[in-house]
Every structure is written in C-alpha cells, then in structure tokens.
Structure 1
Amino acid sequence: MRVLFSVYGSRGSVEPIVALAVRLRELGAEVRVCAPPDEEFVERLAGLGVETVPAGRPVRPVVTTVTPGSAAGLAERASELMAAQFGTVAAAAEGCDALVVTGPLPVTAAARSVADKLGIRYVHASHQPVSLPSPHRRPPVRRGQPVPPETVANRTLWDEDARIAHTMFGEMLNTHRASAGLPPVDGVRDYAFSDRPWLATDPALSPWQPTELGVVQTGAWVLPDERPLPAGLVEFLDAGEAPVYVGFGSTPVPDPEGLARTAVEAVRARGRRVLLSRGWAGLTLPDGHDDCFLVGEVNQQALFRRVAAVVHHGSAGTTTTAALAGAPQVVVPGGGDGPYWAGRVRELGIGAEHDGPVPTADSLSAVLGAVLTPAVRERATAVAATVRTDGTTVAARRLLDELGR
C-alpha cells in the first residue's frame, strides 16, 4: 500500500500528519508527505526517515505577517495553494492508493480533485472540530467576512458558510479542474470535506455529537516523543519548584516584547518561576533574573509533566499534550479553534480561559491563581488517565482495511 499525505499549515497541522505517517510505515505501508518547505518541517520529517516532497511556499513567513481577520492577499495565496496540489501533489500521488489531506479549503478541495482524477482513496483529516458543519455550534468566521448576529440559527449560518466558501474559491477551483479534464463542482466546502471526513481529536477532550455528516473520530494523532530534555533545562527544572510554562506556538503576536513582559510579571506575582517558549513570535526574556528560562524546540510531552501549569494559545496539539501530561492549563484564545479549546478546558475543569486574547499582568495572574490549586491539578490528573493514545493506530488500521477491501 502506498499512501501520500498532503498538508499545509503550521506545526499543529504538520505534526499529526507526521504521527500517522510513521504509524502507517510501522504497519508496512509506503508513505510520503507533501509539506511546506519550512526548515523545521524538513528537518522533522528527515529525522524520522519520512520521504518528503516540498509543496507550496514556506508557511512561517505567511503566518507571521498576515493581519488577523484580514483578507488581503487571500486570493493570491489560495491560487498558489491550489496550483501546488494540481502540480506537485498530483505528480507525487501517481501510483499511490490513497491521499490523506489536511489544511485550508483551497488545499483540501484541490487535493480531492487530484484524488478523483487519479481514482484513488481520498481522506479529509481535521485536527479540530470547529470547521466541520454541525448544528451544535456556529461556523468560524471566514477572512474578510462580517460576523453574523447571535440570533441567527446555526444551520442557517452553515448554509451561508457553504455559499461564501464557494463564492470565494469555486471559480478558482473549477478553472483548475477544467484544465485537468474534470467537471465543475457546485459546492467547494462540502466537496472538500467529503461525506465521511476524519476527525483526529480525542473523544474525552473533544466529543463529537453526531450529525448528518458522517464524521469518523479516530482519536488524536500523537507521535511519542523520546527526545531528552536539554541539560540546561533539566538543571533549571531541578533547581526549584515546578515552573509555569508560557508559549503561544505559531500564533501571530502584535507585541512580542510586551506579551513576554506581561507573562513573566503575571507568573512572578504567583510566586512561580517561568519557562518562556520563543514560538514563531520570537518571544524573549524581559530580564536576566534566574527565575526564568527560555526554551525553543523541545519535547513538550516530557516537559509538561514537570510544570505547574501550561499557559498557551489554545491549539489542538498543545491542549492535547498538556492534557495527556496532567498539567493544569490557562488558555489565552486568539482566533481559529482557540476559543473552542479554551471552552473545553474550562468545561472539563482542567484549567481556565483568559477573557480575551490580550492579557494584562493582573488579568493573567488572576486566572493563574484559579488554576494553581490542588483541586485543578487533581482534576487534570484524572482527565489525563482518560485521554487515548491509540489514535494513529485506529486511523492507520482503518485506512489499510479500507484499501484492502
């Protein structure tokens, strides 16, 4: 069996795909991954011995320069993403049995077109439930589109979302499809999702309520990380009480210096030491005091087992990793799926949600005070025992079984 993965996104999108690719290879499949050519992704895949095909432009410069909510340059980026699927990915998919795809709508819609052209199995994979149509929640706001009033019914909003998506990307997709000898599609969004999309989230952390859409929830795709923590970090951890980790991953930060200063002040106000993660925003320590330590790329699975709490942006990956480690969480939600995961952390009782994406030292310290308690730690430990670790096995065996049939 030969499986091609196509992924376009930040680390939170790439890492789960890497995990499933590795598991499939362990079960005997041949795997190849089309991914952005960012150095960190190339190194990650090469370090695991996974064959990689660079596709599209690097993600990091795009993510760190886009104004949140702005549609400026969106059409150009969408066109480039579709062209990469019909070009690079289509060439890499020759001779494959399946194409597993995750990423924004221009990527997934174009990738399904490639799979249809080649007559191979297509799987739409999502690592968060927010974008999948459901009457139980409102759709996310698309860039450049107005926020609808709260009084509008969810089903109506999802119908409108489908219309907007086709208006934004339908003509572009159908132009590519015509060049490939494919007929036009009427609804880009639903075509990209297919009638059985896969949801790679943990059922305990993110239960999916059944809908008309035949969503297949496999569990989160997590690759066990055996890398040792750096010696300097271990020395810092061993030197005192468990610190509070603060990191915002690939989230754009308008004022990195200000956010770092705010975070350190808030944690110090709770009498705790600080672990600050650089992230894509390039956060740095505000001073040289020995109660703070700056980390870059690190084994979070091991690190989060040794911290008092994790302050983060609310991505699926960080939320799941912290939950698996039994670490209390403070979510400072930005856009995307951040508010969803913040709500789940709050509802599960394993942490708290900061009110809004821009914390002050006082507001963040107050939320930390509510989380740094024995009760929250006890609850986080209990929930950790319910989080499944077999998501990649479930997904890999399902795909191989389907291909075998």
Structure 2
Amino acid sequence: MRILLSTYGSRGDVEPVVALGSRLQALGAEVRVSVPGDEEFAALCARAGVPLVPAFAPVREWTKEMMLRRRSASPEGRAELISGQAAEIVARQYDVLMAAAEGCDAVVACGLFPSCAAARLVAEQRGIRYILATFCPIWLPSAHNRPFEYPGHSLPAGVTDNRALWHHDIRTKNALFGGAVNSHRASLGLHPLDNVRDYVYGNPVLLACDPTLGPWLPSDLIGALQTGAWILPDERPLPDGLEAFLEAGSPPVYVGFGSIAVAREAGRAAIEAIRAKGRRTVIAHGWAELSPIDDRDDCFAVGDVNQQALFGRVAAAMHHGGAGTTVAAARAGAPQVVVPQIGDQPYWARRVAELGIGAAHDGPAPTAESLSAALGTALAPETGVRASAVAGRVRADGAAVAAKRLLDVLRLP
C-alpha cells in the first residue's frame, strides 16, 4: 500500500502527519509525506524517518506575508484575499501533489482547505482513494456545534439551528473557495461543482484529536473516525542550559505562542504576570520571536524543544491553544493558561476551562493583570490535582490507531 500524506500549515499541522507516516511505515505501508519544506519540518521528517516531498512553498514566510495583507484589508477585502490565496494554493499545490502521488494507492490530506482541495483533485485525476483528516471537532458538520465564521461571511443573524448554519456553510465555502476549485477543474476538463465543501471533506473523515479533550458526538451530517491525537514520540534530551535552569529552582511556567505572531507585549505581560506569582519563566521564541525582557536570571529562552520532556517539569504552560500544545500539556498533567487567537484555539481554551485543567484567557490581547488572574487559576492546587487526573485519560496511541483504521478503510472495495 502506497500512501501520500499531505498538509500545508504550521508545526501543529505537520507533526501529526509525520507521526501518522511513521506509524504507517511500521505497519508495512510505503509512505510519502508532503509538508512545507521549512528547515524545521525537514528535520522533523528526518528524525521520524519518513520521506519528505516539499509542498509548494515554505510556510513561515508565506504565512507572515499573508497575515500582513489580511491585517491591512477590510472584512470584505479579507474575503477577497482568502479567495485569491486559495486559487494560488490550489494551482501550485496540485502540481506538487500530482507528481508526488505517482504510483500511490491513496492520499490523506489535512491542513488548509485549498491544500486539501488540491489533494482531492489529484486523487480524482489519478483514480485513487482520498481521505480528509482534521484535528478538531469544530471543523466538521454537526448539530452539536456551529460552523466557523469567516471574514466577510457572517453567520445569519438570529439563526440558532446548527443544521441550517452548516447548510449556510456550504454557500460560504463555495463563495470563498469555489472559484479556485472550479477554475482548476475547468483547466483539467472537469465539470464544475456546486458544493466544494462536501467534495473536499468526503466521508468518512479521520478526526485526530483526543476524545477526552475534544469529544466527538455522532453526527448524521458526516461520519468521523476519532482516533486520538497523532503524537510523534520525542526522545530528544533537553538542552544542557535548560536542564541546569530547571534544576536550579522551583518549577517554572512555560510561555509559548507557537506560529501565532502575538505582539511582543504579550511576552512581556506573561513574564510580568509570572514574576508577580513568584515564579520563574521558560519562554519559547516561536515564530513571534519572543525573548526575555531583561537580563534577570529568572527567565530562560528556548527554541525548538522537546515539550514531552519539558511539560512534566513545569508549574503551568501558557500558550495560544494550538491542538498539539494543548494535548502535550494535558498528557504531562501541566495546568494550562490558554490565550486563544484564531481558528480552533478558542475551542481548546474552552475545553481546558471546562475540564478544570487550567484557565481560558478572555480574548486574544493579554495584559499582565489579565494573565495574572488566569495564572492564579492554573496554579491553584485543585487545578493541579485535576490536571493530573485528566492526564491519565489522555491517549498516546492515536497515530497507531489511525494507521490501522486507515489501512482497514483503504483495503475495503
């Protein structure tokens, strides 16, 4: 069985795909992994021993450029920008994936919708199986949750029926992405689609999130195979300097905002809030390039680090609510302060609060005072007890479960 795995996104999109690729190889499948060709992702693939086929462009600089354009545009302009970006991604990613899929029996896609659309087109053209995967329940049609609200495409006012809202979501995705998909289909001599969402989603979908953190309630609008989060084991030691810092005092608070370009003031606010609680800080540079605010010895800055080794040794983890960081902290039993920014991050913040394993910051613009209040909740003894209890329920075998179920599905006629 030859399988192409594809995603276009940040570390939170790439690492789970690499984890799945590694588990599929362990079961005897032949795997190709197409992810952005950024140096950190090439190193990740090399560490896992999976072959890399670089996506159409490295993602770090591309994302920064796109975010700058979106900030300067009106809501209507942002919608037009999304559609224009979609057309570029579909066309360029299609070319990469079409070549990468040669000789493959199936393609599994996740990440940005236009990238998945390109993978779906490739599968159709090559006559091979296609399966979509996602990392959060909120992206899937269900009577139990509302669709994501895109810029320039507000959900209908006063409508509370989630089924009706998901029907509206079809029109939204047609408006945002239909032109890109149908234009490329026309160039291939294919008929246009009147429902690009369901074409790209397919049925069933692999739901790669932990059932304790992100439970899926069965939906008659789509079938989802929930496998647990796809976690890549990390055996890397912590850097010597970080190890010495951890040994030199009480457990610090971790601060990291991943690929979200949070204003530097957020890093300053976090350090001030942590100091106010009498704690030390481990701050991750991330794409926002956060760093210590002075030369005091109570703050240690790190780059790419083994979160699986680190999070078991911190008093709390303060982060943006990415799916990967949320599950890593939950597995380690580290109380969390989630400062959500975009996408599914508000969902993970809410789940952390609902489970009692941390605090959800109110809004994306933190201050020292607001973070201090949230940190007070995270550092409370009862939160630590709850976080330890939930840690025992978080599964570590999601990638293995997904690999087996995927092969079972693909073997069906």
What range describes the TM-score normalised by the shorter chain of this pair? Answer: over 0.9
Answer with 279-288 or 170-179: which moved more. Answer: 170-179
> Matches of 1:318 and 1:137 in 2, distance apart?
23
For the residue of structure 1 that corresponds to 2:138, the secondary structure is: coil
* 1:123 lines up with 2:131 in the alignment: yes
**1:370-397 Cα shifts (integer Å, max 9, x gaps):** 1102211111111010111111111111
State the partner residue of 1:110. Answer: 118
**Partner SS, residue 229 of structure 1:** coil
Corresponding position of 2:401 = 394
5+ residue gaps, structure 1: none
DSSP-derived class of the 2:383 partner: helix
2:167 to 147, 159, 168: 159
Runs ≥4 in structure 1, deviation > 3 angstroms? 67-73, 146-152
Across the aligned residues of Structure 1 and Structure 2, the Cα RMSD in angstroms comes to 1.5
Instruction: Specify which of 336, 358, 361 is matched with residue 368 of structure 2.
Output: 361
Distance in 1 (CA, whole Å) between partners of 2:309 and 2:47 is 19
What is the DSSP-based 3-state SS (H/G/I as helix, E as strand, rest coil) of the residue aligned with 2:137? coil
Matches within 5 A, 1:18-57: 18-57=18-57
1:261 aligned onto 2:261: no
Q: Deviation per CA, 1:277-312: give whole Å up to 9, x if none.
A: 111011111001001100110000110000000001
Q: 2:379 aligns with which of 369, 372, 376?
A: 372
Q: Normalising by structure 1, what TM-score? A: 0.96
Deviations along 1:178-207, one digit per CA (max 9) or x if unpaired, are: 332433222011111112111000111111
1:351 to 328, 338, 358: 358
Distance change in 2, residues 1:263/1:141 (3 Å): same
For residues 322 and 376 of structure 2, the distance between their equivalents in structure 1, rounded to whole angstroms, comes to 22
Query: How far 1:62 moved relative to its partner?
Result: 2.9
Aligned length: 403
Alignment-derived partner of residue 292 in structure 2: 285
TM superposition shift of 1:174: 1.8
Matched, 1:4 2:4: yes
CA distance in 1: counterparts of 2:261 and 2:162, whole angstroms: 29
CA distance in 2 between counterparts of 1:283 and 1:221 reads 27
Give the conservation status (yes or no) of the 8 Å contact 1:197–1:215: yes
Contact kept, 8 Å, 2:131 with 2:203, in 1: the verdict is: no
Normalised to the residue count of structure 2, the TM-score between the two structures is: 0.94
Partner of 2:210: 202
Residue identity in the other structure for 2:300 = F
Q: Deviations over 1:148-172 (max 9, x none)?
A: 4365432222211110111222132
Q: Is the 8 A contact 1:312 1:330 kept in 2?
A: yes
Percent identity reads: 56
Deviation at 1:145, TM superposition (A): 2.6
TM-superposed deviation, 1:219: 0.8
Supply the AA of the counterpart residue of 2:389.
Answer: A
Q: Distance in 2 between matches of 1:35 and 1:150?
A: 40
CA distance in 2, matches of 1:124, 1:376: 36
Q: Deviations over 1:60-92 (max 9, x none)?
A: 123234046734632332122111332110111
Give the secondary structure class of the aligned counterpart of 1:263.
Answer: helix
Give yes or no for contact 2:18–2:45 (8 Å, CA) kept in 1. yes
Match for residue 323 of structure 2?
316
Corresponding residue number in structure 2 for 1:227 = 236
Query: Cα deviation per residue 1:13-65 (whole Å; 9 max; x = unaligned)?
Result: 00100000011111111111111122211222123332111122221123234
Q: Which amino acid aligns with 1:375?
A: E
Which SS does the other structure have where 1:54 is aligned?
coil
1:188 corresponds in structure 2 to 196
Within 1, Cα distance between the matches of 2:62 and 2:351? 29
Name the SS for the 1:3 alignment partner.
strand
**Residue matched to 2:336:** 329
State the SS of the aligned residue for 1:138.
coil
* Partner Cα separation in structure 1 for residue 113 and residue 151 of structure 2: 12
Secondary structure, aligned partner of 1:139 = coil
Choose 59-68 or 30-39, whichever is displaced more.
59-68
Farther off after superposition, 361-370 or 395-404: 395-404
How do 1:236-275 and structure 2 match up within 5 A? 236-253=245-262, 255-256=263-264, 258-275=265-282
| d(CA) in 1 for partners of 2:366, 2:199 | 39
Distance in 1 (CA, whole Å) between partners of 2:47 and 2:92 is: 24
| Segment of structure 1 superposing worse, 395-404 or 161-170 | 395-404
1:65-76 matched pairs, under 5 angstroms: 65=65, 66=67, 67=70, 70-71=78-79, 73-76=81-84
Distance 1:55 1:115 in 2: 16
Whichever residue aligns with residue 83 of structure 1, its letter is A
CA distance in 2, matches of 1:278, 1:168: 33
> One-letter code of the match for 2:109?
V
**Is 1:171 the equivalent of 2:179?**
yes
Alpha-carbon distance in 2 for matches of 1:14, 1:260: 25
Q: Amino acid of the residue matched to residue 286 of structure 1?
A: I
In structure 2, C-alpha distance between the alignment counterparts of 1:235 and 1:17, rounded to whole Å? 33
Matched residue SS, 1:207: coil
Which of residues 102, 105, 119 in structure 2 aligns to 1:94? 102
The answer to whether the 8 A contact 2:82-2:176 is kept is no
* Alpha-carbon separation, structure 2, partners of 1:144 and 1:304: 39
Contact 1:63–1:252, Cα closer than 8 Å, also in 2: no
Aligned to 1:214: 223
- Report the CA distance shift for 1:64/1:86 in structure 2 as closer, same or farther (over 3 A): closer
Cα pair 2:261 2:288 within 8 Å, conserved: yes
